[in-house]
Amino acid sequence: PDGNAVVCWSDGDAAATDIFCQLIPAGTSTDIAETPIPVNTTDVGTGSTLHGPSVAMDNSGAFIVVWQQHLSGASLPIAARRFDNSGAPSDINEFEVSSNGSADASGDAPAVAIDRDGAVGSGTGGDAVIVWSRNKQIWATPPSRRRH
C-alpha cells in the first residue's frame, strides 16, 4: 500500500535459526536502522531451524509471514503468523498451517498470497492462501483449495 513493503529472512547460527521481518515505509532508504521484528515465538532449540519465509501484504499494510520449521526429531511443519500495519503481531503465537489431521504435517517451500481487496482475516477479502509441497503434491489453505 502506498509503496510500503515488508521483507523477511531467517537468521541464526548452526545451532538454531529464527525468522525476522522489517517494515520499509515508502520513501525510506534501504539502510534501515530499526530493530527487526521477531516473527516466531517458539524457541526452536538446538538443532532446529526455521527457514524459507514468504510474506504477503494487504492494502492496509497488514501482512502474514509463513515459513518451514525443521524441528529437531520432528516433522517439517509449515507455520504462519499475522501482523497489523504497524508490525504488531495479530496472533499471540505462530500457528501451524500444514496439519491435515494426521501425524505427518511436513511441508516444503511455503508461499503465501493475499486477496488485496480487504484486510487479512477479515472475511471480506484479504484472505490469505498458503501453499506448500508435500510428498510430490501441492497443498493449500483453506483445505478446499488443496490440489493433488
Q: How many CB atoms lie within 10 A of CB 20?
A: 20
Peptide bond into 143 cis (omega under 30): no
Q: Report the predicted TM-score, pTM, of the whole model to 2 decimal places.
A: 0.80
Q: What is the DSSP string of 32-71?
A: --SPPEE---S---TTBEEEEEEEEE-TTS-EEEEEEEE-
pLDDT in tens, the chain (148 residues): 567 889 999 887 767 788 899 988 777 766 665 778 999 887 666 667 788 899 998 888 889 999 888 766 666 778 899 999 889 999 888 888 876 555 556 677 788 888 766 555 555 445 788 888 777 777 777 644 444 3
SS3 readout for 97-112: CCCCCCCCCECEEEEE
